[in-house]
Structure 1
Amino acid sequence: MAITNFIAAIELGSSKIRGIAGTKKIDGSIQIHAYAEIPSSDSIKKGKVYNRDGTSLALKNIIKKLEKELGETIEKIYVGISGQSLRSEYNSISRSITSEDTKIDQELIDSLCDENLELKINDLDILSVEPQEYKIGNNLEINPVGVASEHIEGRYLNIVANSNVKESIEYCFKQAHIKIEDLLVTPLTTADIILSEKEKRAGCALIDFGADTTTISIYRDNILRFLTLIPLGGENITKDIISLQIDEDEAETIKLSIGSAWYDKKENDKEEEKAIHTLEDGRKVKIEDIQLAIEARSEEIVLNVWNQIKYSGYNDKLLAGLILTGGASKMNNLHRLIQEKTTIGQIRFAESPLISFHNSDKINGIDKTKYGILGLLNAGKENCCLIPITDKPGVLFDDKEVLITKEEERKKKEAQEEIERKKSKDEKIGENNKNPDKKGDNFFTKFTQKVAKDLFGNENYESEK
């Protein structure tokens, strides 16, 4: 059966382009109706469109697969935007209040936000704005409406990216004849289905270890405070294993099976140091060589993450610690490496999203690699199904003529039933008039007979005619 009410989203990942469609339920859960994915390593690099034609073709195929499962046409779609140049930029806007009434109102707050959006940054687009606080005198207010002051300073965290990132995405979707309903910042929508309100309030950092990039999103007091991407990810580790003359597919398997982000020689005896791994083609490779290659690159990524956290100024304010997600976070002993190289003690893996997703078999199960696309689906609001527009205004049903015919038949049936009821009633009245003395005589006959009996004692009295 065709599904006519759904939200559709697409994620442009460095390893795969993913598409999904689902419906939000009243309880906040989401029913997944369709899912499709296509490898994108030849079209997307570091989260940025590299091959426009290849990306456009992949988008067409994704939409075609989704529409086949839905049984309907997709009119528009929500698109996630990320990429190496994505980051946060701080900005502040000051305003003196010269009116007689110095009380701050919503109109003033809106004008400050509009002025911030008009900020021109060389070769950068503002994709999203996260208001921080408003400085009123020596106080910081989250919502200053109603506060009396002669001066206000609005502080904003602008999420920006190189202009060509957005332009390339819009070009590819235009070439694929797909309407973009909205461009959403993928790290923000991902955080919404992973981080609890308690974690955001206490202070935490969401680390998304992706294929080509690693994203760092820092929250404190329920507000996004810092966002940046590092151009290193799981693929870099895989390439280091490949450099040991190992096939790419086998290198990926080795990374996630016997590979370890933390390799301590002191904990390994001489026999383990001499251990050999036999490849699929029969060649042998020392496990120690594999482990050292993995650890070196993993350490580089973790140290870069830690440097960015310290740069944000929130390294000592993350009471809820680090939350790890992304495909590369599946690495063995990654948490041990982070504990060794940082001062963060509290670490958890995002094992499941906060929101319930039904029909997870549609996406071959929910895992860390799919949190990005699920977050985009959750962030969508508008129905993305193409609803046909009829030529005649006010016609809500395609089968109007059928409905009119059924209505006429109903009226005819009611009229026929009414005729039959009247006919039956007339027949009963006529029968009673012909046989007044029979059992079942009409009321008038019975009444006159009863009166005659009472007055004259004559049961056979007949009324005058």
Structure 2
Amino acid sequence: MDKHQISVGLDIGTTKIVAMIGRKNEYGKVEILGVGKSKSLGVHRGVVNNITQTIQSIQQAVQEAEAAASEKIEDVTVGIAGQHIRSLQHSDYITRPNSEVVIDDTDIDRLINQVHKLVMLPGEEIIHVLPQEFKVDGQAEIKEPIGMYGGRLEANFHVVVGQVSSIRNIGRCVKSAGLELEGITLEPLASANAVLSQEEKEAGVALIDIGGGTTDLAVFKDGIIRHTAVIPFGGNVITEDIKEGCSIIEKQAELLKIKFGSAWPGENKDNEIVSIPGLRGREPKEITLKNLSKIIHARVVEIIEQVYVEIKNYGHEEQKKKLIAGIVLTGGGSQLKHLKQLVEYITGMDTRIGYPNEHLAGDSDEDIASPLFATAVGLVMDGLKRQDRRKAEQIEEEVVETEEEETTAEAQQEIVTEEPKKERRSFLDKLTERVKEFLDNAE
């Protein structure tokens, strides 16, 4: 098998770490070869707080995936999330020296680099700079300014900011686990790629990924990402509430939530009771399902309301920014019974549960197409996309080299400056390189 055709996604979550190996089949769909899953011990709310335990959990997940796929894992695409991620809107402009020349990639790069000079809080770094729409000489709502004439190029940007130390810690864990960092991706973006269709992104949709430690939000409209947010609550807080409210241990609380939990208290009758074995020689505890769902309901409402505030911050209530496709729920927390109905009730928006089967090969295992694995599937897809891009760049370089032999040095100069700029490198690629460099120097 061609080694370069496989891609590995590593989802470092608060409750679980997933390593997923995939490749593209002949129909362009993603075929999953193996999945490894381990309990995440060193991560709290999406941020690494114990390096040694995280390394062990990563190694365990990777070994399991290697055994399932009979493949050796070397490079991984890692997702970053966590409560330190925040986003802001920013507008910037450049004045071009010569308005007689058409706008090209270099102008856009210049504009994006200028945004990167924004002053951040200490320890923060810009992770993503996503252009929203451009203006050329005051003409607004331009999606793609390349090839146009103009003297002043301005744009609105969606800027995602994160704590650089948290990103480096993740890089450190990956490297110490004996793996190479192939790429870094923002987790809400990875999940969105796995579960949303292009039509939904065009119409306007909010993706809510409810994980163990955090809830990630990504808002799309007109095919462009408009807003991202990470809310520092997830499924674990619900488990914690059940544990406190019913005075039971965490393991029992988690089981109760999965087996009998519901986000809608109205549907449980008063006489439905679950008996839980007591700790060593103590009496068993009896808990009514109505009480259980009341505890869950209170916390879920809080999470959804916080997410809804973020959706309103984006401007969902303006007619022009309305999210026609509503809400898509994914992540492990989205499997809670009656959650869809509760979200529709609170927000008044159409809601569906997002399964990552949009891009998976038809014969994929049912377990993989679960909302639990949405981020991992998205990371695998991201890795495959990166490989395709590298291949295209290599072919381009070869073309340039062959043309170099055929043309004079002067004409060649033009080709070299014109040609390789087909695909603009994303800032995450540059960030990956910086993290790699930092880790190499820190050895």
Is TM more than 0.5 here?
Answer: yes
Match of residue 38 from structure 2: 38
SS at 1:101 equivalent: coil
C-alpha distance in structure 1 between counterparts of 2:225 and 2:19, whole Å: 27
Tell me how far 1:348 sits from its aligned partner: 1.1
Match of residue 424 from structure 1: none
Q: Percent identity?
A: 30
Match of residue 375 from structure 1: 378
C-alpha distance in structure 2 between counterparts of 1:175 and 1:257, whole Å: 37
- What does residue range 98-247 of structure 1 map to in structure 2 within 5 Å? 98-99=97-98, 101=100, 103-122=102-121, 123-136=123-136, 137-243=138-244, 244-247=246-249
Does the 8 Å CA contact 2:18/2:35 hold for their aligned counterparts?
yes
Does the 8 Å CA contact 2:355/2:369 hold for their aligned counterparts?
no
Tell me how far 1:314 sits from its aligned partner: 2.3
- Equivalent of 1:354, from 358, 374, 394? 358
SS at 1:171 equivalent: helix
The 3 A distance-change label for structure 1 pair 70 and 321 is closer
Deviations 1:410-455 (A, max 9, x none): xxxxxxxxxxxxxxxxxxxxxxxxxxxxxxxxxxxxxxxxxxxxxx
- Equivalent of 1:342, from 335, 339, 347? 347
Tell me how far 1:70 sits from its aligned partner: 4.4
Pairing 1:276–2:269 present: no
SS at 1:188 equivalent: helix
SS at 2:61 equivalent: helix
Which amino acid in 1 is paired with 2:150?
S
C-alpha distance in structure 1 between counterparts of 2:42 and 2:78, whole Å: 16
Deviations 1:340-395 (A, max 9, x none): 32232x1111145211246644x8442110111111011113679xxxxxxxxxxx
Does the 8 Å CA contact 2:355/2:374 hold for their aligned counterparts?
no
Tell me how far 1:297 sits from its aligned partner: 0.7
Does the 8 Å CA contact 2:23/2:32 hold for their aligned counterparts?
yes
C-alpha distance in structure 2 between counterparts of 1:171 and 1:108, whole Å: 35
C-alpha distance in structure 1 between counterparts of 2:338 and 2:237, whole Å: 18
SS at 2:265 equivalent: coil
Larger radius of gyration between Structure 1 and Structure 2: 1
Tell me how far 1:287 sits from its aligned partner: 2.7
Deviations 1:217-253 (A, max 9, x none): 1000000000001111111111111111233233223
C-alpha distance in structure 2 between counterparts of 1:4 and 1:215, whole Å: 31
Tell me how far 1:5 sits from its aligned partner: 4.3
The 3 A distance-change label for structure 1 pair 71 and 279 is closer
The 3 A distance-change label for structure 1 pair 127 and 4 is closer
Which amino acid in 1 is paired with 2:236?
E
Which amino acid in 2 is paired with 1:376?
L
Which amino acid in 2 is paired with 1:356?
L
C-alpha distance in structure 2 between counterparts of 1:54 and 1:366, whole Å: 28
Does the 8 Å CA contact 2:217/2:229 hold for their aligned counterparts?
yes
Match of residue 320 from structure 1: 325
Tell me how far 1:201 sits from its aligned partner: 0.7
C-alpha distance in structure 2 between counterparts of 1:14 and 1:125, whole Å: 22
- What does residue range 42-53 of structure 1 map to in structure 2 within 5 Å? 42-53=41-52
SS at 2:213 equivalent: coil
Q: CA RMSD in A?
A: 2.4
C-alpha distance in structure 2 between counterparts of 1:357 and 1:143, whole Å: 33
Does the 8 Å CA contact 1:194/1:350 hold for their aligned counterparts?
yes
Number of aligned pairs? Answer: 376
Match of residue 330 from structure 1: 335
Does the 8 Å CA contact 2:99/2:150 hold for their aligned counterparts?
no
Tell me how far 1:304 sits from its aligned partner: 0.8
C-alpha distance in structure 1 between counterparts of 2:380 and 2:251, whole Å: 30
The 3 A distance-change label for structure 1 pair 357 and 15 is farther
SS at 1:273 equivalent: coil
Match of residue 296 from structure 1: 298
SS at 1:121 equivalent: coil
Which amino acid in 1 is paired with 2:352?
R
Does the 8 Å CA contact 1:6/1:383 hold for their aligned counterparts?
no
C-alpha distance in structure 2 between counterparts of 1:365 and 1:63, whole Å: 16
C-alpha distance in structure 2 between counterparts of 1:69 and 1:134, whole Å: 47
- Alignment TM-score, normalising by the size of structure 1: 0.75
Which amino acid in 2 is paired with 1:151?
R
The 3 A distance-change label for structure 1 pair 365 and 105 is closer
The 3 A distance-change label for structure 1 pair 60 and 278 is closer
C-alpha distance in structure 2 between counterparts of 1:68 and 1:3, whole Å: 16
Does the 8 Å CA contact 1:23/1:33 hold for their aligned counterparts?
yes
Which amino acid in 1 is paired with 2:29?
S
C-alpha distance in structure 2 between counterparts of 1:14 and 1:372, whole Å: 13
Does the 8 Å CA contact 2:194/2:375 hold for their aligned counterparts?
no
Which amino acid in 2 is paired with 1:329?
S
Match of residue 409 from structure 1: none
Tell me how far 1:144 sits from its aligned partner: 1.3
C-alpha distance in structure 2 between counterparts of 1:62 and 1:191, whole Å: 23
Tell me how far 1:69 sits from its aligned partner: 4.2
Which amino acid in 2 is paired with 1:179?
E
Match of residue 251 from structure 2: 249
Deviations 1:16-43 (A, max 9, x none): 1111112112311122222211100x21
Which amino acid in 1 is paired with 2:74?
E
Does the 8 Å CA contact 1:36/1:65 hold for their aligned counterparts?
yes
Tell me how far 1:194 sits from its aligned partner: 1.0
The 3 A distance-change label for structure 1 pair 72 and 306 is closer
